[in-house]
Amino acid sequence: MSENILVQIKEVVDKYIRPALQADGGDIEVVDFQDNVLSVRLQGACSCCPHARMTLENAVGNTIRQAVAQDIEIKSV
C-alpha cells in the first residue's frame, strides 16, 4: 500500500509542488516514504532559504496531506 501512496505523492510533487519551487530557483527530491513519514530534500535556492521550514510544512506538507492523506508526516533530510 505504501508504494501506491508513494506514487500518488510523486504525482502531486511533480504537478503542484516542484513547479512552484522551481519558479523560485529551488527544487525538491522525494527521498523515502516509510511508516507514513515522507522524507524530502529541498534543493537549490530552497535548501538554504531562511523560510525553508515554512515551505516544507506549509507548501509541501499541506499540499501532500490535502491531495493524498491527512496523516502523512513530512521531514527534511
Q: Tens place of pLDDT for every residue, the chain, 77 residues?
A: 578 999 999 999 999 999 999 999 999 999 999 999 999 999 999 999 899 999 998 889 999 999 999 999 999 99
pTM: 0.90
Domain ranges of the chain: 2-76
Q: What is the pLDDT of residue 1?
A: 56
Q: For residues 67 and 61, give the distance between their C-alpha atoms in angstroms, rounded to a whole number.
A: 10
C-alpha cell at 65: 496531506
Helices within the chain (DSSP H only): 2-12, 18-23, 52-54, 62-67
What is 2-76's CATH number? 3.30.300.130
